[in-house]
Amino acid sequence: MSDAWPTELLVSKDRRELTVSFDDGSVYRLQAEMLRVLSPSAEVQGHGPGQKVTVPGKRNVAIRSMIATGNYAVRIVFDDGHDSGIYTWKYLRELGETGDALFDDYQRQLAEKGLSREPLSR
């Protein structure tokens, strides 16, 4: 994985997709749901080995805003209130390159735990 630098971060009009363009010409379209459920935050990843949380009910989550974090990352704020994930350029690149497999694994984990991508009814 190279240390390519992002040249553009563009949130779609419906706020459910982030397009990340890098200076090496690669472009990745990352779904808000994937970004949310694979957030690098301790809330999702846990504080140690084996503590990762499988987050259900985020199919319709949207990106509310993005806040630059130094010159190495962006903090993404989601409309469900989650705002503690710091997405480094390297992590965004990793999600672009391996996101399909990671999301497939997430869906498998949901199924194994009897959980769903669908939001909970209130």
> How far, in Å, CA of 23 to CA of 15, rounded?
24
**Domain range list for the chain:** 6-110
> How far, in Å, CA of 121 to CA of 10, rounded?
31
Task: Find all residues with CB under 8 Å of 58, minimum gap 6, and list them.
Answer: 33, 36, 37, 80, 117, 119
What's the pLDDT at 2? 54
List, for the chain, all residue ranges whose pLDDT scores fall below the cut of 50: 1
CATH number of the 6-110 domain: 3.30.2020.30
Cβ contact 90:1 at 8 Å: yes
What's the pLDDT at 48? 74
pLDDT digits (tens, 9 = 90+) for 29-51: 999 999 999 999 867 887 777 78
